[in-house]
Amino acid sequence: MLDYREDHYCPVYDKVISADLCYDSLFCLNKMFKVSSTKELLEIKDIDQAREKCKACPYSDLSA
Q: What is the pTM of this model?
A: 0.91
Neighbours of 43 (CB within 10 A): 7
Evaluate if residue 16 carries a pLDDT over 90. yes
pLDDT digits 0-9 by tens, 18-32: 999 999 999 999 999
Q: Please report which helix (H) or strand (E) contains residue 15, including its range.
A: strand 15-17
Total length of the chain: 64
| Predicted local confidence at residue 62, as pLDDT | 80
- Report the pLDDT value the prediction gives residue 6, as an integer from 0 to 100: 95
Is residue 23 within a helix (H) or strand (E), and if so which, with residue range?
helix 19-29
Phi, psi of 19 (to 5 degrees): -60, -35
* Proportion of the chain above pLDDT 70, given as a percent: 98
Residue 45 phi/psi, 5° resolution? -75, -40
